[in-house]
Structure 1
């Protein structure tokens, strides 16, 4: 849900109108979740409510994400359960206090955003692993049995739980699962009531009225009796410190990722991550000191908060107040909730942490192995080891992708020509030496070799191997030409530590040869002219980088063409029709000549006439475009005048009407002068307008225009600004 930024300021009217209703909805969602997470963690039931109260009030007041709602989270369930099993609950509270202190250090040192330097695929897999672990634990409770201490034990004990299932527990737990799964499909008006609340209340009422004999939540004492100070560990301080670090890191990452997700849901103030760490750390210290579970930002509650219309942090704070009031005054109601009902709720929550969208994304991005291995490690080892293994694999894959150069070695032409081409693209380091050596080893002795080196990183080891191989190959009668297309050069490698250079941009049809081609090696073919070398190098680069991309567009054009326009432009090398019109193969039927001229009847050029006839009669083009350009040599020649009998002067006589129109004050010329164009460019613009008129008077073109089958237009390419301008008989339309 997106809200206007103007409504994010804190005032009493906003609180009453928006935040109070939103806080009540969040309270109804958070209550059963807090109870269920406490039970799944093996902690006292009230510990979940204490954490919910502290998370709402403390983290809501001090945190840096105004619309984020904090409390006990499913993401820490596995860790907390293991800590309680190893140390007991009160020492776990001490660990929670330590984790809170560490989070405050994170916030004060302003390194909170560093916690986001974790591959999203690892976080997604971590949550999926947690979800699977929770589901495996709670499925036993849903069947009326007891959960085991590890995922493997839960798996092996599952057949026994199915054989010995209690139908009453299965009925109540199954009812909750069914409600939770079907609730999102119901009409929006119905879904205004939180699904978890409906499921738990419904299951509780059925249990009460049907008189079912199933286990229910047991609470010793009231809310204030549950408040208790933590205990110091009696030993094993290394494991305690590891627990503090684990809780702090997981709680921080989960809170920050939740804050990032919440920021995407609204248009109000963005999260201050360092302040959020201070708020989360303070909440964990107080929760641990009071006998509560660890606290994190929770995406389920936070998204509910935004969707319910919350405008300020008052909603998160009030939701904590409502939980406090409920915990103090209505504890007896909690004891009526069946354990199987909360188990069903937690099974669904666990399943929902495993998202198919995350798996599909990992498959598309090539990270599926990271996802799968992390999930398995989290489930069958533990959370910290699983995340560590996942991160290690993700880092290795990134290093592999970054440093892995593309190396190809293949002959060119016939076997008798003995010409070979070796192409190296990417980052070339000592890690690639085995593959580089293999590619070089395939080249036969005395072959004429071209090495295209397109690298952004090149270390001395790789440089030395290439130079040594070049020396040995030439000593055996071969030749080696090295074309260094990239920005990292062989000669620089022995002089300084290697560094990454951005690879030169070689966009097809945009970058001239001179911006990326380098002078050929001295051992290159001496019979080839420098111009031919440039063309051949360009063709080779086209085959390497663009031929495959172009092929997919040529499939439908292999037998015929169906261009939309005939494009008449100057032969000037600076005008590239397909670039300035963002067109591709099959779009333009192009005529190029000096001055973009249409010869008159008295001095006819049959090539232009033939092209017009073929384009209109055979291809059925819908438009003809005349495109002139700035700094045109033909227009400068017209202004200078010439009386010689050269072929160029004879050709330019076709532009005499344009020169006459310009000197007589043609509107297009006056408009161009007002736009600041020089005299030669003014003439070029008038020339476009006159050539358009000449085409419109052409018998074949004129008939097609009269029949509504054809349009004729004029363009002008301003080389100085690289902008294309519309030209009409009255002037130019210069883009701003």
Structure 2
């Protein structure tokens, strides 16, 4: 690395990362202490985990801005392990969990964690938040938390009746500051709300001499004791180890993905991040700290504070370490009830209405509720497993859901469409719908499916045989791979689902679709609109929603009004790509020519002056009726005066052909007409100016209808002037 690059990196750290690290540090200290208290661990364990998470993950992790440390989501697990095995044995479990995370990162399985349904994650966090809030509410009221959420809830009324005044006042004051802090002026809100709440509560309790419980960290950092092996059933130990490894890893990776959407720096390397989290957990366990994970609150604060690199997280860990070693005595001024009130507030805030609305929008409220209820009533692992199981069942139901649409055609035929994946789970619905079709009906059955198993084939095939035996007819059209045809012929079925393909037969003309499906033009148009709403609109709606505010096409596309030409089809373009002008003969009248025509000129003017297109394309085609009329002479259009005047703009193309008329004169004229219109475009000053400046390109295309082939027509190169004789 060059000296200038090093200096630039150092200046960036001073300008952006140093201030951001101080902001995150001020948030990390109170939250780390509160999480340690809620987990039943030594308070110093929270500070150790915050320092290790910041320094180790900051240096070795895969994200530039994620901040790691103790997390509330693991509080319930850690509290259970501490209660069962003791604190020093819990440190060993943390070390083993870190080793598992390192192995998972080495084997590059980090992406698998993203398969967890967000409804399960949000439900787990909400359940943990409620458990923490219920437990710490007892501390705020002057009592002690119970062994379970139900016990905390049932004993809460008695605790309220026996509550202690000063302790309750400290808790209420802490929560009040947290609630109103976000509404204060911005220069005051520069102090993080958790730190402000603790300072106000501690200062008020000290001034008025309230009787509160004080925090004592005297000698907690230096009184280190080595971890010890857990005593008990190793099956439970392994279960706890895997639970910490997977939950902490999943939360860290989901945090990385969420934070990547909030900054413009380098994207996170998830496998490296998982390995970095594992090494941090090994170090935290050895030093007597809590398990470590990426924390969304601190990471979001880090980004909003302007962090640019991993040095913000590293420095935040350094500040926590310095505080624990040199200023730990100041913590004794913080009331324990204030920390508990802070945790009650944070626990309740985990129930995010935004998350609830999001999962409700995807019909995953049952997964959210089951996960949250399981975590509260049974346990963290059981609740998560129950949520995952329900999410898998709901996903299976969605993947195997089928729809059967039936409508009667004007000619008495019945048109039915079966959509989805035809498996044994959909057979009851399929047979129920098919049996409602009256006997003797002529049925056109579209199979818009991507899979069919044996049970579904048997049900469909048996219904078809029964219907035809009773005098009806069934015509089956498969819009994707021929699942039914292959199964009926005894051929081997495809091993997997069909790849996605455009649904329907939108590119076919009406006359080539279902015969006699419509008897009038009006029916064809209305049924086409219905088919668009049913099949195509859901696919293009997201794009059209984006384009609704305005257009910004890159091409002006001038082509013939011939019904056989579909610009989007032959150019594989979509909505918003082409600014299209169609007229008879794809003609571009020369600037100022007579008879005058403002339509094409207006389109050229708008495309070059307002839309600033990059390309103007003139597309001709084989068998053009306008060119055939030019070849046949004025008599052909004697009874069509408007058309005769319009075709005068094609006379220069006819002149290019010359007096000789070869057998392929029509095709030659169609191609030369494209070249002529490209020359006509350059008579417009704005077009010529942009072409000369290299900002606009003129392109000619020729579509051979019979061969379904598009060729590029090169423009005629101008002949350079002959050098003058001296």
TM-score bin, normalised by smaller chain: 0.7 to 0.9
Aligned to 1:617: none
Q: Is 1:658 matched up with 2:649?
A: yes
Shift of 1:447: 2.2
500-509 vs 468-477, which deviates more?
500-509
CA distance in 2, matches of 1:583, 1:11: 44
> Residue 642 of structure 1 contacts residue 649 of structure 1 at CA under 8 Å; is this kept in 2?
no
Q: CA deviation at 1:157?
A: 1.5
CA distance in 1, matches of 2:7, 2:113: 29
Contact preservation (8 Å) 1:597, 1:655: no
The aligned counterpart of 1:573 is 564
Aligned partner of 2:724 in structure 1 is none
* Alignment CA distance shift 1:449-1:360 (3 Å): same
Mapped pair 1:256 → 2:258: no
Question: Do 2:620 and 2:673's aligned partners in 1 also have CA atoms closer than 8 Å?
Answer: no
RMSD (Å) for aligned C-alpha atoms: 4.4
Residues 54-63 or 38-47, more deviating: 54-63
What corresponds to 1:671 in structure 2?
A: none
| Counterpart mapping for 1:361-440 below 5 A | 361-409=358-406, 411-412=408-409, 417=412, 419-440=413-434
Q: Secondary structure at the match of 2:477?
A: strand
> CA offsets, 1:529-572, max 9 Å, x none?
9x979999997675455279999xxxxxxxxxxxxxxx997353
Q: Of residues 207, 210, 230 in structure 2, which corresponds to 1:209?
A: 207
Which residue in 2 is equivalent to 1:178? Answer: 176
How many residues align? The count is 633
Matching of residues 177-576 of structure 1 within 5 Å: 177-219=175-217, 221-225=219-223, 227-409=224-406, 411-412=408-409, 417=412, 419-493=413-487, 494-498=490-494, 499-506=496-503, 511-513=507-509, 543-546=530-533, 570-575=561-566
Deviation at 1:685, TM superposition (A): 8.6
User: 1:102 corresponds to which residue?
Assistant: 100
Cα displacement (A) at 1:484: 2.0
Preserved CA contact (<8 Å) 2:587 2:650: no
Aligned to 2:75: 77
Can you list the C-alpha shifts for 1:593-646, whole angstroms capped at 9, x where unaligned? 899999xxxxxxxxxxxxxxxxxxxxxxxxxxxx9954452133135x337977
Cα distance in 1 for residues equivalent to 2:259 and 2:633: 77
Matched position secondary structure for 2:418: strand
Closer/same/farther in 2, CA of residues 717 and 351 from structure 1, 3 Å limit: farther
Indicate the residue corresponding to 2:627 in structure 1: 636
TM-score, with length taken from structure 2: 0.77
Task: Tell me the distance in 2 between the aligned counterparts of 1:389 and 1:582.
Answer: 44
**Which whole-Å deviations, capped at 9, do the CAs of 1:186-225 have from their partners, x for residues lacking one?**
2222122222112112211211121111212244633111
Q: Deviations over 1:697-716 (max 9, x none)?
A: xxxxxxxxxxxxxxxxxx99
Change (3 A) 1:183 1:532: same
Whether the aligned pair in 2 keeps the contact of 1:571 and 1:596 (CA below 8 Å) is no
Instruction: State the secondary structure of the residue aligned to 1:192.
Output: coil
8 Å contact from structure 1 (residues 36, 343) kept in 2:
yes
Q: Is the Cα contact below 8 Å between 2:674 and 2:701 reproduced in 1? A: no
Structure 1 residues 591 and 283: alpha-carbon distance in aligned structure 2, compared to 1, 3 A threshold: closer
Conserved? CA contact 2:448–2:503, under 8 Å: no
TM-score, with normalisation over the residues of structure 1?
Answer: 0.76
Report the counterpart of residue 125 of structure 2 in structure 1. Answer: 127
Determine helix, strand or coil for the equivalent of 1:224. Answer: coil
The alpha-carbon deviation at position 32 of structure 1 amounts to 0.8
Q: Which residue of 2 aligns with 1:154?
A: 152
Distance apart, 1:149 and its partner CA? 1.6
Q: For residues 354-380 of structure 1, give each alpha carbon's deviation from its aligned partner in whole angstroms, at most 9, with x where no partner exists.
A: 111111111112112222222111222
Question: Structure 1's 542 and 312: CA in aligned 2 closer, same or farther, altered over 3 A?
Answer: closer
In structure 2, the CA distance between the partners of 1:273 and 1:578, relative to structure 1 (3 Å rule), is closer
Deviations 1:83-104 (A, max 9, x none): 1122221221111111011011
Structure 1 unaligned regions, length at least 5: 1-5, 552-566, 599-626, 667-676, 691-714, 726-736
Task: Quickly say closer, same or farther: Cα 1:683–1:401, change in 2 above 3 A.
Answer: same
The residue that corresponds to 2:110 in the other structure is 112
Tell me the SS of whatever aligns to 1:65: coil
Structure 2 stretches lacking a partner, 5+ long = 539-557, 590-617, 658-666, 681-698, 714-726
Cα offsets for 1:417-470 (capped at 9, x unmatched): 5x4333201211222111111122222322222212111222233223222222
Displaced runs of 4 or more, over 4 A: 6-10, 409-414, 506-509, 531-542, 547-551, 575-584, 590-598, 643-656, 663-666, 684-690, 715-723
Q: Find the counterpart in structure 2 of residue 31 from structure 1.
A: 29
Contact 2:503/2:535 (8 A) holds in 1 = no
Conserved 8 A contact 1:412-1:421: yes
Deviation at 1:46, TM superposition (A): 1.2
